[in-house]
Amino acid sequence: MDTIKNYLATLFLEFPNTPEVQRAKQEILTIMEDHYLALIEEGKSEHEAIGQVISEFGSVDELREMLQVEESSEPEPEPENEIEESEMIMYLSHRRKDTLGLGLGISGCLLAVGVLIGLSIHGAEMLGLLLFFVLLAVSVGFIIYNGMQLSKNGAILNDRYVSSNLGRVATKMKNEYQKSFQISLVFGICLCVLSIAPILFFQMFTYAEYGIPVMFFFLAIGVFLIIYGSVNYTSFDKFIDAKYFIADEDEPGPKAMYEKYGAAAPSKHLLARIYWPMVTLIYFGWSFLTGSWGSSWIIFILAGIMYSVLEAIFIKK
């Protein structure tokens, strides 16, 4: 099903991002998905159904005619400071390396707990504590360093123009990586689910506690696979979903802000700066005045919902 979505997303890169085009895209996707499910019910394999759905779908010219979108005779404008394909590839390469370090750091924290419990079971508590703090220190160092690098590597591309051609290249690369992502996600989830199995196995021999270190070993590998595959897979979206690169989703650049919010960009920027500090002040003020610390936390839930509503109002139509 994702193959159909990605195929359709690639085709629609050539069309303007208007509400009419997006509605047509969603309608076509619904038709293709219904056709795919009907073929599956008829006994077709997944690959046969996908192939038939795509082959029966019209060409780009037919799609353009259906949407009544004229093909522009002028080439796409090339704003200054446009991101080059080589820069994108270098960014993705650095991001894979940093994601590897981040995943190892998080997995290392889980292994540290497993080592502590495993050695404590065998009576070596002091050695377990020593190795626990050593592994924890190294792992936290990996997390901090690689987390900082993830932000730093995108800084040079921040708020720079992403052309539609570069978006098509990123979409192709994402489709090629999709199988690796699915494998890492499936194996990672399976290992996390099966991490309880060692405890059940050793319990049959009345040594259930011996399975706890093995459980953390399974969790460490599973979490690493999920993090590594997911972060790398979503990295391509930075060159697909927006016209301007956003290094930090919490702080998009001026051009990216204007592209998303239009003339309301300054107001949205002001809202992002003052909203949550105001919510925090209201929370503490209300809690001190009423003494309802046990229930006043609901202010943050209501504030989150309200923030989403306000943000939707600012988005450029």
User: DSSP letters of 213-270?
Assistant: HHHHHHHHHHHHHHHHHHHHHHHGGGGTS-SB--S-TTS--HHHHHHHHGGGHHHHHH
Proportion of the chain above pLDDT 70, given as a percent: 84
Q: What pLDDT, on a 0 to 100 scale, did the predictor assign at position 291?
A: 84
Q: Residue 57: which domain range?
A: 2-67
Mean pLDDT across the chain, nearest whole number? 82
Are 132 and 196 in a shared domain? yes
pLDDT at 7 over 60: yes
Phi/psi at 81 (5° precision) = 65, 35
Q: What pLDDT, on a 0 to 100 scale, did the predictor assign at position 224?
A: 96
Mean pLDDT across the stretch 267-295?
84
Q: What pLDDT, on a 0 to 100 scale, did the predictor assign at position 73?
A: 41
Greater confidence (103 vs 71) lies with 103
Are 111 and 191 in a shared domain? yes
Are 161 and 202 in a shared domain? yes
Residue 73 falls inside a structural domain: no
Give me the residues paired with residue 7 across strands: none
Residue 190 falls inside a structural domain: yes
Are 44 and 189 in a shared domain? no
Are 301 and 183 in a shared domain? no
Model confidence band, residue 74 (pLDDT cutoffs 50, 70, 90): very low
Contacts of 252-261 with C-beta under 8 Å, sequence gap 24+, read: 252/159, 253/158, 253/159, 254/159, 255/159, 255/161, 256/159, 259/316, 260/315, 260/316, 261/314, 261/315, 261/316
Give me the residues paired with residue 161 across strands: 244
Q: Choose one of 239, 272, 296: the last residue of a domain.
A: 239
pLDDT at 114 over 80: yes
Q: What pLDDT, on a 0 to 100 scale, did the predictor assign at position 101?
A: 94
Residue 77 falls inside a structural domain: no
pLDDT at 80 over 90: no
Mean pLDDT across the stretch 131-159?
90
Measured over the CA atoms of residue 303, residue 307, residue 309 and residue 310, the dihedral's sign is positive
CA distance 144 to 152: 12
Say whether pTM exceeds 0.85.
no
CA distance 207 to 201: 9
Q: What pLDDT, on a 0 to 100 scale, did the predictor assign at position 43?
A: 82
Greater confidence (267 vs 198) lies with 198
Give me the residues paired with residue 244 across strands: 161
Q: Choose one of 188, 207, 239: the last residue of a domain.
A: 239
Are 186 and 104 in a shared domain? yes
Q: Choose one of 67, 99, 116: the last residue of a domain.
A: 67
Domain count, the chain: 3
Residue 249 falls inside a structural domain: no
Residue 76 falls inside a structural domain: no
Are 149 and 10 in a shared domain? no
Model confidence band, residue 10 (pLDDT cutoffs 50, 70, 90): low
Measured over the CA atoms of residue 8, residue 172, residue 249 and residue 243, the dihedral's sign is negative
Are 50 and 118 in a shared domain? no
Predicted confidence (pLDDT) per residue in 185-197, tens digit: 999 999 999 998 8
Sequence-distant (6+) residues with CB within 8 A of 275 are 303, 307, 310
Residue 181 falls inside a structural domain: yes
Greater confidence (1 vs 118) lies with 118
CA distance 159 to 265: 14
Greater confidence (128 vs 4) lies with 128
Are 108 and 42 in a shared domain? no
Model confidence band, residue 65 (pLDDT cutoffs 50, 70, 90): low
Winning range, highest mean pLDDT, from 13-22, 119-128, 143-152, 226-235 = 226-235
pLDDT at 75 over 50: no
Are 155 and 102 in a shared domain? yes
CA atoms within 13 A on the CB side of 152: 8
Are 194 and 62 in a shared domain? no
Residue 217 falls inside a structural domain: yes
Mean pLDDT across the stretch 233-246?
86
Are 143 and 8 in a shared domain? no
Residue 282 falls inside a structural domain: yes
